[in-house]
Amino acid sequence: MPSDWLLLRKESDLSGILFLIPIALFMGLLGLGAFIWSVRTGQFDDPAGSANRILIDEDKPL
């Protein structure tokens, strides 16, 4: 709809959203992708274990 885009420019200077919305969506999709990856790799299968594993010290000499 090229005519709409022109109108948009005329009404007020809202052209910023033309790239801001895609950027926002892209970043959102990145996050969604990361979430899907984490679910697929089983990172949500054991929430209790994950929470407790933080507390385990790796007994390595300094």
Partner 1 sequence: MSTSDVLAHTRDWSLGDTPEQESPFAGLSAFVQKNGKSQHLELHVSGAKCAGCLAKIEKSVGALEGVSEARLNLSTGKFDITWQGPLPASEIAETVSGLGYGVSAAAETDADEVQRKEERELLLAMGVAAFAAANIMLLSVSVWAGAGEMGSNTKQIMHAISGVIALPAVAFSGRPFFRSAWSVLKRGRANMDVPISLAITLAFTVSVVETIRGGEHAYFDAAAMLIFFLLIGRFLEARVRRRACSAANDLAGISNRAVTRIDCDGNAIKVNPGVVAPGDTILLSQGERAVVDMALSDEFCELDESLVTGESAPHVLSKGMRIYAGAVNLSGPVQAKALSRASDSLLADIGRMLDAGEQRRSAYRKIADKAVALYVPFVHSAAALTFIGWMLAGAGFRESILIAVSTLIITCPCALALAAPVAHVVAAGKLFQLGIFLKSGDALERFASVDRIVLDKTGTLSLGIPQLSEETDENTIADAALLARSSRHPLSRAISDAAGPGPVAPNVKEIPGCGLEATIEGQLWRLGSGRWVGLNQDASHTRNLYLQRGDEMPIALEFADRLIPGTDEAIKTLEAAGYQTEILSGDTEDRVSEVARELGVSDYTSAASPQEKAARLETLRDQGHKVLMVGDGLNDAGALSLAHASVTPGTAIDISQAASDAVYSGGISSLPVLLKISKRTRNVMLENFTFAALYNLVAIPIAVTGHATPLVAALAMSFSSVAVSLNAIRLAAFTEGK
Residues that bind partner 1 (CB under 8 A): 4, 7-8, 11-12, 14, 21, 24-25, 28-29, 31-32, 35-36, 39-40, 44-49, 52-56
Taking a C-beta distance cutoff of 8 angstroms, is the pair 35, 41 a contact? no
Q: Which parts of 1-62 fold into alpha helices (H)?
A: 2-11, 16-40, 47-53
Rounded (5°) CA angle 46-48-49: 65
